[in-house]
Structure 1
Amino acid sequence: MKNKIKYGIAFMIILLIGIISINIYQPNKEQTLRGKIEIIAYDDVYDYLVECADKFMELNDKTTVTVKKIYSSDEILQELNNKDNSRVTSIAQINRMDFDILGLKKSNYLEEQQNILNTYSKNFSTYRIQQTEYDDISVGIPFTSRPLALYIREDMLEEYGYNRDEMNTWDDVIRIGKDIFEKSNGNVRIINATGDDYEDLVSLLIMQYMGKENNEELVKNQVNNMMDQLKNNNILNLTEGGEFLGRISSINAVKEIVALDVKCQWTAENVPSITHGTNKFFSSEGDNFVVLNDIVENRKLVEKFITYVMTNNSEAIEYVAQGRFFSSYLYTYKNKDSEVQLNNFIGMSPMVVLSNVEEKTRPISNYEEYINIKKTILNK
């Protein structure tokens, strides 16, 4: 009888331990991360996001994360309209100006989204958080950034008797540019102003003149006057394929310069200032992760995946070094790999220059005003 009691007690203890073990080591349905999300992204980050999605789903096998490549912001609205009755949360890669132009909802405020910003706010520049805000409420999470630099073909500049240290202000650029245009018999204009370079130049000038706390109309006039001055003095190359030796640009210039198959030596430097001693750290609009349709059961997945993408520094730095995109997450650049010397560049690594600009860029006094001015000047 005593043995039966002992066996019974032993059985109950083993059963109890088994139940406890199951509860501890096997997460229940509520604890398991589930859901479906789709990331709508451009070519520059597509491969990186696909890699992140695959690795994330390996760690969370009850989730589905797909990535769809787009080529224009107009496709974002098309994707959103196709998701009216879907249980898939769509997250778009989009900058602030396109967000305004498309008229996307500013009401998809998520607590999970704010949790990310609260946790990692010190790893974003203040200006990048500002770019996601409407009335102090963030509608997105910073993803990529576009710190601006002056890229100069140093070997070509020296052929005309100048060096980069002489190009500190826009007056310097105009003086040197006029001389080089004459010496090259009208073949070389010092600054490129086609495609994205034109938009980056306009963005820079708007931010520089806004720094003087001028009103909107005055800033527009000052920017237009400076652009006219640069054009009239043959400073700007406005023709695709035209010859130039400098450009105001961001990470995209790194990718293009590294790929050049001609012998050349480029440097990345801080942009020219309006006058001596004024701010040289400026960044154009970066892209944000913006939730297009809030599906309650996918909220936790949204938070976890965006956090995973944002903090995946070891993989991100490889894409950054290729000039594919520039991560907004400042901790990415603590990695020594960001200092690697790149093909066709001399001097300080452009990644070091860009990360320094990203960290030191100040918020704009009135971001809504900046967007309005830019849309007007660029006719968007």
Structure 2
Amino acid sequence: MKKALFFLSLMVFALIMVGCSSTGEESNGNGGTDDGGSSDESVEVSIWATNINVPVLEEAAAAYKEQNPNLTVNVEEMNNNDIRSKVTTGLQAGGQGLPDAALLVDDGVTGYVTNFPDQFVNVGEMGFSEFTSDFPEYKVNSVSYDGSVYAIPFDAGPVGVFYRTDLFEEAGVNAEDINTWDDYIEAGIKVKEATGANMLSYDSNDSTVYTIFLSQQGLGYFSAEGESNMDTEASVNTANAFKQMADADILLGTPGWDAWVTSLSESQTATAIAGGWLVGTLQQSVPDQAGNWGVMPLPQFEGNDSRSANQGGSSFTIFESSENKQAVYDFLEFFATDFETQELAMDGGLFPSYLPVYESELFSEELEYFGNEPVWEFFADQMTQIPSVLYTENDQIARDEAIKVQAEVVQGADPQEAVEGAQGRIENRLQ
């Protein structure tokens, strides 16, 4: 009898312990975390983000708090360079000084995860794999490493050719007739002869356009095996396009961002190649040209039917050093997949990558600045056509060399020789 009572006591004790251990530790989507306290505890999370993103995050946090009153989201504003610098320093220090999450430019995510694989949360394992089909394939691939997703996608930069409709009309050029880069160059010659404006201006201190041309052809600067793509056919095509435009005297290199925007405002160029964010830049910086701009797809390279590319875009990473990983993940999952939040981002000048939001009326609105054309709808259509591109930790080295290739071919160098020289320099720098 005593033995039976002893075992009965053990069973009761075990049941009590199980009941105690199951309270307050699992995520409940209400500010509680699996590593940060129970649902009745107040939890604060910190996120680093750039200026244009801060108001959207703060408004989304306020909306989220209505259903999750115990969670406070603190957003710290800083520019991209400062985020990169501080994140690098924090990762090198084993996570010290890092926030719970940070908004990183997509082309830097893979490099960080490659070099610091144990310091980033696999958000796919936390539940985000359920939502990847709601984002363009190229966007998910850009924040994935070794088959896993390490960042929650946010804004994107689908590319278009912005063109001056009035200059095209004066030159007798129809944008719909421009299908290839050869067509584009021929049209540029007509525009220059008729109006005196160059066909294209670009920032000669940056590799943006070179990168877009590679991206359009489905290439980043390195292969999956770590080999440089600088001397590939796609890179030769890119360098050759620069040379052909320079030889035709329809290309204008500008020393920096401000000079590039000036070339647009002073009608020194008839087109600009950029992500959809240029819509806001034109409206704010060149208001007197309202009604004189249109958007068309990138012309295609011979043998490649792609007319789409991406420039820029960012996503949210969560750091393993965070003590509130589940809480910040829950908020960012909401932020990235809530329809109204993405509309808010759109209204704030950001181009969301969440596919369902493209059904919003915002995307079918006709913009007076662009001749009452629904340009946002154009960019939304581009999103599912953008080729996936591999980003690596060594991209900046190749981008530096791409700037040199641009300068060399514009000055008359042979494109093949220029890219081969850059290939050699990249290989030497990586030894």
Which category of TM-score, normalised to the shorter sequence, fits these structures? 0.7 to 0.9
One-letter identity of the residue aligned with 1:294: S
1:270 aligned onto 2:270: no
Deviation (angstroms), 1:139: 2.0
1:255-308 residue CA offsets vs partner (Å, 9 max, x unmatched): 02333321432222211111387111222342111123432x412112211112
One-letter identity of the residue aligned with 1:97: D
Instruction: Check conservation: 2:121, 2:319, Cα contact below 8 A.
Output: no
1:44-63 residue CA offsets vs partner (Å, 9 max, x unmatched): 21211121123323432322
Residue of structure 1 in register with 2:197 after alignment: 188
TM-score normalised by L of structure 2: 0.71
Residue of structure 2 in register with 1:354 after alignment: 379
Equivalent position SS for 2:249 = coil
Q: Percent identity?
A: 17
Instruction: Check conservation: 2:44, 2:73, Cα contact below 8 A.
Output: yes
Q: Which runs of 5+ in 1 are unaligned?
A: 1-22
Instruction: Check conservation: 1:188, 1:245, Cα contact below 8 A.
Output: yes
1:3-42 residue CA offsets vs partner (Å, 9 max, x unmatched): xxxxxxxxxxxxxxxxxxxx9xxx9973457532211111
Instruction: Check conservation: 1:92, 1:289, Cα contact below 8 A.
Output: yes
Query: What is the distance in 1 between the residues matched to 2:183 and 2:99?
Result: 51
1:292 aligned onto 2:319: yes
Residue of structure 1 in register with 2:388 after alignment: 363
1:329/1:236 Cα in 2 relative to 1: closer, same or farther (>3 Å)? Answer: same
Equivalent position SS for 1:159 = helix
1:339/1:195 Cα in 2 relative to 1: closer, same or farther (>3 Å)? Answer: farther
Instruction: Check conservation: 2:100, 2:325, Cα contact below 8 A.
Output: no
Q: 2:102 aligns with which of 76, 92, 97?
A: 92
Instruction: Check conservation: 1:109, 1:138, Cα contact below 8 A.
Output: no
Equivalent position SS for 2:329 = helix
1:292/1:303 Cα in 2 relative to 1: closer, same or farther (>3 Å)? Answer: closer
Deviation (angstroms), 1:378: 4.2
Aligned counterparts, 1:272-351, within 5 A: 272-275=299-302, 278-295=305-322, 297-321=323-347, 324-346=349-371, 348-351=373-376
1:217 aligned onto 2:231: yes
1:53/1:318 Cα in 2 relative to 1: closer, same or farther (>3 Å)? Answer: closer
Aligned counterparts, 1:43-192, within 5 A: 43-78=51-86, 81=89, 89-99=99-109, 105-110=116-121, 112-184=123-195, 187-192=196-201
Instruction: Check conservation: 2:151, 2:315, Cα contact below 8 A.
Output: yes
Higher mean alpha-carbon deviation, 276-285 vs 239-248, is at 276-285
Query: What is the distance in 1 between the residues matched to 2:272 and 2:346?
Result: 20
One-letter identity of the residue aligned with 1:290: T
One-letter identity of the residue aligned with 1:314: E
Query: What is the distance in 1 between the residues matched to 2:351 and 2:204?
Result: 19
1:270/1:66 Cα in 2 relative to 1: closer, same or farther (>3 Å)? Answer: same
Higher mean alpha-carbon deviation, 81-90 vs 213-222, is at 81-90
1:283/1:334 Cα in 2 relative to 1: closer, same or farther (>3 Å)? Answer: same
1:353/1:150 Cα in 2 relative to 1: closer, same or farther (>3 Å)? Answer: same
TM-score normalised by L of structure 1: 0.80
Instruction: Check conservation: 2:102, 2:316, Cα contact below 8 A.
Output: yes
Q: 1:236 aligns with which of 251, 256, 274?
A: 251
Query: What is the distance in 1 between the residues matched to 2:40 and 2:204?
Result: 47
Query: What is the distance in 1 between the residues matched to 2:55 and 2:204?
Result: 24
Q: RMSD across aligned C-alpha pairs, in angstroms?
A: 3.4
